[in-house]
Amino acid sequence: MADVNAQPLDGDPAARVLVAGASGFTGALAAQIVWRHPKLELVAVTSRSDAGTRLDALYPRYRVSLELTELDLEEVDGVDAAIVAYPHGAAAPTVAALRDKGILVVDLSADFRLRDLATYERWYGAHGAPGLLDDAVYGLTELYRDELRGAKLVATPGCYPTASVLALAPLAERGLLSDVVIDAKQGVSGAGRGGGDAMHYVSMDENAFAYKTEGHRHRPEIEQELAALGSPAPVVFVPHLLPLDQGELATCFAQTSEPISKDEVQALYRERFTGEPFVRVVDGPPGLRDVRDTNECHVYVTVEERGRVLAFSAIDNLWKGASGQGVQNLNLMLGLDETEGLL
């Protein structure tokens, strides 16, 4: 095969990009998206566990022919922007070091998503760079587009908050939410690499179950965002794993503070998302297959017989729920069209 290079760039790159933690599922996809991006140049992919391996040996379905190296923060040169795909808690110190060098950072971890330090520490332990919390912009693109344009550090939300908050945003912004139950369902890639016996093919095949039913750390993040939009409602959140690879489906049962009809709520959603390049308001409950390997979010809203609003959203957990949205944000930080490299 001819040497498969990255997409040829349209002229000089808008940024030379490093992906840190590229051996995990979200880091590897971030590298792949940057690799094919017409305006970005992928200059390095790093990994502690897999340094020395080429990324396309680890992920043959991606085409990134770079070798993974260990990140040496002393030696990072010629890098304009970094996407950090580290585990929650591990990202903050690296993010801080990169910012110190003036490098733009898109963080895919939870480390800069919670605005309240105490809440962060309750769920994740000590914070590695609390001084940066105020600098971080929350990277749910459709809600914070203006702030993202000039941002230096973006905390990209994970798949659960992305799917849930997008599904509820039009109601939250009107202050209409009084009580929310979210039943979320996710493919196995959402659990990340590793996982041992529990993630073995034989364990997950023909299986489905809830997990973290005693409290999930994405709940406070979802509550934070709904409150920020205008609806400080309590949220019950239960995640499930499904026997599929990529996909995240949020089924939201919302009690509104005043009655709303099906026609009204559907009109509200269509209006709210008009012009959004990646949010599609669809005519029936969305399916995960429809969004697989895309950066799209499909949303459907209706009202059931007892008056509860049902809002459904489907995303690809690795794309709109992580790396795709990360690049969407990076595009904005760099002044590029937000869809660049993502269609």
How is residue 236 written in tokens? 């019950």
x/- track of binding to a second copy for residues 160-189 (CB under 8 A): ---------------------x-x-x-xxx
Q: By C-beta, is 94 or 295 nearer to a second copy?
A: 295
Cβ burial, residue 62 (10 Å; 0-12/13-18/19+): middle
Count of Cβ atoms closer than 10 Å to residue 244 Cβ: 16
Q: By C-beta, is 147 or 293 nearer to a second copy?
A: 293
Q: How far is the CB of 211 from a second copy (least distance, A)?
A: 6
Phi, psi of 122 (to 5 degrees): -65, -40
Distance from C-alpha of 88 to C-alpha of 300, rounded to nearest angstrom: 31
3-state secondary structure of 337: coil
* Binding of residue 302 to a second copy (CB under 8 A): yes
Site for a second copy in 57-96 (CB under 8 A): 60-61
* Binding of residue 343 to a second copy (CB under 8 A): yes
Q: By C-beta, is 51 or 79 nearer to a second copy?
A: 51
Distance from C-alpha of 51 to C-alpha of 23, rounded to nearest angstrom: 9
Q: By C-beta, is 47 or 94 nearer to a second copy?
A: 47
Which amino acid is residue 276, in one-letter code? E
* Binding of residue 236 to a second copy (CB under 8 A): yes
Q: How far is the CB of 343 from a second copy (least distance, A)?
A: 7
Distance from C-alpha of 11 to C-alpha of 28, rounded to nearest angstrom: 25
Which span sits near a second copy by CB under 8 A: 102-110, 119-127, 132-140, 282-290?
282-290
Q: By C-beta, is 150 or 195 nearer to a second copy?
A: 195
Which span sits near a second copy by CB under 8 A: 102-110, 143-151, 158-166, 294-302?
294-302
* Sole binder of a second copy in the list 79, 175, 228, 253 (CB under 8 A): 253
* Binding of residue 244 to a second copy (CB under 8 A): yes
Phi, psi of 136 (to 5 degrees): -75, 135
Q: How far is the CB of 140 from a second copy (least distance, A)?
A: 16
Site for a second copy in 117-136 (CB under 8 A): none
* Sole binder of a second copy in the list 211, 261, 264, 337 (CB under 8 A): 211
Q: By C-beta, is 225 or 338 nearer to a second copy?
A: 338
Count of Cβ atoms closer than 10 Å to residue 282 Cβ: 15
* Sole binder of a second copy in the list 41, 67, 173, 276 (CB under 8 A): 276
* Sole binder of a second copy in the list 291, 322, 333, 336 (CB under 8 A): 291
Count of Cβ atoms closer than 10 Å to residue 272 Cβ: 18
Length of the chain: 343
Scan for tokens 């690795």, then name that residue.
318
Q: How far is the CB of 212 from a second copy (least distance, A)?
A: 9
Site for a second copy in 25-54 (CB under 8 A): 25, 36
Q: Left, alpha or beta for 247 (phi > 0: left; psi -120 to 50: alpha)?
A: left
* Sole binder of a second copy in the list 12, 201, 263, 335 (CB under 8 A): 201
* Binding of residue 319 to a second copy (CB under 8 A): no
Measured distance between the N- and C-terminal CA atoms of the chain, rounded to whole angstroms: 26
Q: Which residues does the annotation mark as catalytic?
A: 159
* Binding of residue 280 to a second copy (CB under 8 A): yes
* Binding of residue 277 to a second copy (CB under 8 A): yes
* Binding of residue 289 to a second copy (CB under 8 A): yes
Strand pairing partners for 254?
180, 309
* CB 63 within 8 Å of CB 32: yes
Residue whose C-alpha is closest to residue 129's, from 97, 84, 156: 97
Phi, psi of 40 (to 5 degrees): -120, 150
